[in-house]
Structure 1
Amino acid sequence: MSAMLARHWTALRTAPGCRGPRLIPAFSVWRARTIRLQSTIAGQSATAEGTAAFLARHADLPRSTLAKRDWTLSKLGFGAYRVHSQAPEHREALLQALNSGVNVIDTSSHFGYGASETFIGETLQEVFKRGEMRRDQVVLVSKAGFIPTTTPEFPQEVLGKVPTYAKINDLSYHSIHPKFLESQITGSLERLRVSKLDIFMLNNPERMLGARNTSYGKVRLLQEIAEAFAYLDHEVQQGRIGGYGICSNAMHIPTTEDYLSLKALLKTANDFGWNKDNFIALQAPLNLFERDLVTDAPAGKALAHEAKENGIFVFTNRPLNAIARGQIITLENKGHLTRQVDDESLANKFNWSEILSENLAQLSTNYFAAKHFLDRQVLPAIDNDLRLLEESANQSTESDDVATVMKWIPTYREEAKALTQEIAAFCQLDSDKRNDELNLVLGLICPDFVSDVGPKKVAVPIGSPLSTKSIQYSVAHEDVGCVLVGMRQPAYVTDAVAAAQASTRLGKKELGLIAQCPLLLGE
C-alpha cells in the first residue's frame, strides 16, 4: 500500500518566481476515494444554493455572503473549541444552534486532540440522516498548525513525521509544512466523516516567530505561508478543501512584534504562484475591549476593512474572552436575579491569614492569574512542604510528637485547599462586580443593546446580559462576516442567538458611542 501511495507523490516542483524548491505532496487518489466511500452524506460540501436555502428558513438571523464562493453564512457561528462526545449538553447545544439557523461550525485538528472534530462528525451524521439539514447547507471550517501531544514529554516519533517545525517550548511545536498539512487535512476529513472541508485555515502561524530551535524572521515566515498556500491550491484542485485562509492573533495589530501584514502576504502570490481566488477567509479576535480588527488607524485601514476590499471573508473569535490591560477578562455576568453571594462573609474568612489578606486586593484584580497562582504555585508548594515535614517527623524518636504532626498534616492540607477555593471565589466575585458595572454603563450609553430588563427586554431569559452585549457588538459590524462563539451549553446558544438577532439595532453611530465607553478605554 505504501508503494502505491508513494507513486502519487510528486518529488519537487519549482513555481514561477520561486526562490527555491518546494515539496508538494500530491495526495493519494486512492485515499480520497476511500474517504468518499466512507462518507454517507449526500452532497460533498457547502454550495451557494444549499446555504441560501437554509438561511431562507431563518429570516430572523443575520447572514452574510462569502464573496469568492457565493455561500450564505449565518453571522453567528458555532465555535467548537471545547466540545466532545462525552457531554450530552454539547450535542444538545449544537443541535439547538443548527435549528436556530446557525450554519457555520468552526473547529481545529488539535481541539481536544481531535475530539472536537469527532463530535461534530457524529452529530452532523445524525442530523443529515434524519433529513433536518443537508451537507451542502453547512459550512465546515477546520485548522492546523499546532502539533498536538498528549504526553508530558513530546514524542520524537511525532516530530519525525514533520520535515520542518518551530519549537515554541518543550511541549509546544508548530508547523505549516505541506506534508504536515496534508496529514492534518486527512485526519480532519476522517474525524468529521466528510470528503471535503469547506475552509481550511493555517492556525496562528505567527507563533513560529518565537521558535527556539531555528531562526524565524518575517521574511522566512511569509515565504513558508506562501508555500503552504501553493500546496493548498493543490488540495482545492483535488477537491479536499473548498478554500483556505489564516487564523491569527496578530494580523490585526500592526504594533505587535509578531504582526503579519495582509498586504505583504498578498504580494507573495506573484512570487510563489498561489491563487488569490482560493484565499477566501481570515479569522481574528474581536470583542468589546479588543477592537483593532475593525478600527481604522492613521497608519492604515483596519484589517477587516482591508480584507473585505480584497474579497476575503472575516471570521471573528473570542467575543467573550478579552485580553486587555495585561489581563484575561471574561465578558460574563450572571444577571441581578441569579446572583446570591455574600462578599463580606467571604472576606471575613481571610482575616486569620495575614499574608493572603494583605495581597487579596492585588489577587482579586485578575481572577485567571489568581487561580493559576493558587493552583499551580501555592498548593504545590504547600504539598511539598508537608511532604518534607512528614519525612522529618518519621525520623523523630518522639512518638507523641510524630502522632501529633501526622494528625495535623491532613487537616492543614484540607484547610489550605479550602482557603484557596475561597480566595478564588472572592476573586470571581470581584470580577463579577466589575462586569456588572460594565453591563450597566453600556446599557446607559446605548439603549439599543440587548437587555433582560426595560423596554428592549428580549422574549427569552438571558443568562449573561454582558455576554449578549459583546456578541451583539461584534455581529453588528458590517465588515465582519461571522462571529464564532463557544456554545457548549443550550443556554449559551439562547444568549448568542438573541444577541445576533438584536445586532441590527446597532448602526455606526451606536458602535462609535460604545467604543468611547470609559470602562472600555481604561479611564
Structure 2
Amino acid sequence: MEFSRLGFGCYRVHYKVDEHINSLKKALLSGINVIDTSSNYSDGGSEIMVGNVLDDLITENKINREDINLISKVGYIQGHNYTFVENQKKSGSGFKEVVEYGDKLWHCINPDFIEDQLNKQLARLNQKYLDGYLLHNPEYFLANAEQTGMDLEESRKEYYKRIKNAFEFLDKKVSEGVIKSYGISSNTFGSNDKEFGFTSLFEISKFSNENFKIIQFPLNIVEINPIINKNNNGKTVLEFANEMRLKVLINRPLNSITSKGLVRLAEFNFVNYSERDFYKQLEKLKLMEDDMISEKLATYSIDETELKKLKKIFSFGKILEENWKYFGSIEHFNDNVEHHFIPKIDFLIEYFELHFQNEDTLNFLKKFLNELYLMLNLISNHYKMKASKRTNFFNQKLNDLTGGTIKELTLSQKALLLISSLEGISTILVGARREKYIDDILKINDLKKLGNSYEVLLNLHNELIQAENI
C-alpha cells in the first residue's frame, strides 16, 4: 500500500483533548493514511486516542482499517512504564539489557521487553495488528556507553547485536500477523559516522531481511545532514535507504534544533503593544497575588505545608518580572509555559474547587487566572514579534532561491514542499494538533514536487552557515 505524502505525527496528543481528536479525524478523512505514534507519547494517551479515532471512523464506515498505515514505536521507559520497569527490577524479575540513561528515563529493546510493550500497545490501540513497528531511538545505548566510558568499537558491536536480536524477535511477530513490518526511528541516522552515537543503516543492512521496511529520522530545511553526510558506505542515509527500497518517514519537518535552540518554521501572528501596558499588567498581576495570599487565603485554616506550597505557586508575577526577557525564543517560552506554568495552573484550579466553597474566592481565582493568561499572551506576543523577523528571513531566502515560484506559500508550506520533493522521501510526519494546521499542510498535496529541492536546500544551508542569526 502507498504511503500518503503527509502523515499524522502523534507526539503530544492525548485522548482527553477534543481538539487533538478532531484534528486526527480531519486528517484521515482528508486522505492522510499514515499515523505515527509511540508507547511513550503522552504516557500512552496518544495510542489510546488513535485507537478511539480509528474505532469511531471505522464504525461509522468513513474509513477502512486496511487503508490506514498504523505505525507505533517501542524502546522508551518513561512515566507509568518507568514505574512498572523499576518495580520489576526491585522485585528481582527485571527486564534484561535496560539502559538506565537518566533520571526516570530508561530505554530497552530486549525481546522480552518488546513483547510486553507490544501487547500493551495493541490493547491501547484496540488493534489486532500494526502495519509498522519501529525501534525508537535505540542509540540511547550508545549515548549511555559514551557517558560511562565504554570503548567505541565494543559499544557498536554490542549495539548492532541488540538490534539484530530485536529484529529476529520481530520476524516472529511478522509471521504471527501481529505486525506487518518493522524498522527503526533514529535521530542519528544522518550524523557524522565518526560520532559515537551514529546509527549506520549500512551496518543494519548486513543482517536485515525483507521484513525490515521502514526507517524514520529528522529532516528539515535547517537540519539537512541526512542528505549531505555520506555516512553509509559512501552514500547518504537517504540514498542508501532508496537502494534498500525502504519507506522513509521524516519527523520534525517544522522544528529545527540549532545552536541557538529550537526554531519553529512557521508564521507568527502578533499584535503591536506598548511597553507601558506590559508593565501595567505585570503590576496588576503581582497585586492580585498579594491579595490572594494576605486576604483570601488568610480566611481559611490551611495546613502549613500546603499554605507554603500555595504561596510559592502564587509568585507568577515575580517569576515573570525576573525572567520574561531571558526566555530567548517563542519556542523556549512556549515550552516553559507548557511544562512549568500550566501544571501549576491546573493544580490551583483543582485545589480551589476541592477545598474552597466560597464563591467569592473561586471568582477571585478565575479573575486572577484571566489576568495571568493576559500576561502570558503579552510575553508570547513579544517573542512572536522577534520570531517574525526570523520567518521573514527564511521566506525571503526561499523565495530568492526558488525564483519566486513558491512565494505565495506560508513558511511551513514551503518547508514541507521542499522536503517532500526530495527523491526517496515517502511521508512527512506533521504534528498537527489543531484542525487549522491540517488545513495549512493539506495545501501542498495539490502542488507538484520541486525538481530543484536538493539544490535549494543545499544553497540555503550554505547561506545559514554565513548568517549570524536564524
Q: Same fold (TM over 0.5)?
A: yes
Q: 1:449 touches 1:505 (CA, 8 Å); kept in 2?
A: no
How far apart in 2 are the matches of 1:262 and 1:432? Answer: 38
Aligned to 1:521: 465
**CA spacing shift, 1:194–1:446, aligned 2, 3 Å:** same
- Which among 289, 301, 309 is matched to residue 222 of structure 2? 289
The amino acid across from 1:282 in the alignment is I
Q: Report the TM-score when normalising by structure 2.
A: 0.74
Q: 1:293 touches 1:304 (CA, 8 Å); kept in 2?
A: yes
Q: 1:153 touches 1:170 (CA, 8 Å); kept in 2?
A: no
How far apart in 1 are the matches of 2:373 and 2:18? Answer: 31
- Which among 181, 191, 197 is matched to residue 130 of structure 2? 197
Q: 213-222 or 425-434, which moves further after superposition?
A: 213-222
CA positional deviation for 1:301 = 1.6
**CA spacing shift, 1:434–1:207, aligned 2, 3 Å:** same
Aligned to 1:77: 7
Residue 495 in 1 paired to residue 425 in 2?
no
CA positional deviation for 1:194 = 1.4
1:438-496: CA deviation from partner (whole Å, max 9, x where unpaired): 22332233246545x4xxx6xxxxxxx11111111111111111111111111111111
Aligned to 2:28: 98
Unaligned 5+ segments in structure 1 are 1-70, 270-274, 379-413, 458-464
How far apart in 2 are the matches of 1:347 and 1:437? Answer: 27
Aligned to 1:460: none
Aligned to 2:204: 265
Aligned to 1:240: 178
Aligned to 1:328: 262
Q: 1:161 touches 1:180 (CA, 8 Å); kept in 2?
A: no
How high is the sequence identity, in percent, across the aligned residues? 29
- Which among 225, 238, 246 is matched to residue 312 of structure 1? 246
CA positional deviation for 1:240 = 0.6
CA positional deviation for 1:219 = 1.4
- Which among 141, 156, 179 is matched to residue 86 of structure 2? 156
**CA spacing shift, 1:358–1:118, aligned 2, 3 Å:** closer
Of Structure 1 and Structure 2, which has the larger fraction of its residues in helix?
Answer: 2
SS in 1 for 2:139: helix
1:114-143: CA deviation from partner (whole Å, max 9, x where unpaired): 111111111111211222221111111000
**CA spacing shift, 1:349–1:151, aligned 2, 3 Å:** farther
CA positional deviation for 1:513 = 2.6
Aligned to 2:273: 342
1:276-308: CA deviation from partner (whole Å, max 9, x where unpaired): 111111000011101112235498221011011
How far apart in 2 are the matches of 1:343 and 1:436? Answer: 23
How far apart in 2 are the matches of 1:374 and 1:104? Answer: 30
- Which among 302, 327, 332 is matched to residue 236 of structure 2? 302
- Which among 505, 512, 516 is matched to residue 455 of structure 2? 512
1:256-294: CA deviation from partner (whole Å, max 9, x where unpaired): 330011111222x1xxxxx51111110000111011122
Q: How does 1:102-501 map to 2 (within 5 A)?
A: 102-150=32-80, 156-159=86-89, 160-211=93-144, 217-254=155-192, 255-267=194-206, 269=207, 275-295=208-228, 297=230, 300-334=234-268, 338-342=269-273, 363=326, 365-369=328-332, 423=379, 425-447=381-403, 450=406, 453=408, 465-501=410-446
Q: 2:109 touches 2:163 (CA, 8 Å); kept in 1?
A: yes
How far apart in 2 are the matches of 1:165 and 1:450? Answer: 48
How far apart in 1 are the matches of 2:335 and 2:11? Answer: 21
**CA spacing shift, 1:178–1:481, aligned 2, 3 Å:** same
Unaligned 5+ segments in structure 2 are 284-319, 342-369
**CA spacing shift, 1:350–1:114, aligned 2, 3 Å:** closer
Q: 2:270 touches 2:381 (CA, 8 Å); kept in 1?
A: no
Aligned to 1:87: 17
How far apart in 2 are the matches of 1:83 and 1:125? Answer: 17
Aligned to 1:396: none
Q: How does 1:22-41 map to 2 (within 5 A)?
A: none
How far apart in 1 are the matches of 2:83 and 2:70? Answer: 32
**CA spacing shift, 1:491–1:311, aligned 2, 3 Å:** same
How far apart in 1 are the matches of 2:6 and 2:339? Answer: 36
Q: 1:166 touches 1:175 (CA, 8 Å); kept in 2?
A: yes
Q: 1:250 touches 1:256 (CA, 8 Å); kept in 2?
A: no
How far apart in 2 are the matches of 1:376 and 1:133? Answer: 36
Q: Report the TM-score when normalising by structure 1.
A: 0.67
What's the Cα RMSD here?
3.6
CA positional deviation for 1:365 = 4.5
How far apart in 1 are the matches of 2:58 and 2:425? Answer: 29
1:143-177: CA deviation from partner (whole Å, max 9, x where unpaired): 00001224997872154442220011121000001
**CA spacing shift, 1:161–1:152, aligned 2, 3 Å:** closer
The amino acid across from 1:340 in the alignment is V
Q: 2:230 touches 2:237 (CA, 8 Å); kept in 1?
A: no
SS in 2 for 1:211: helix
The amino acid across from 1:186 in the alignment is N
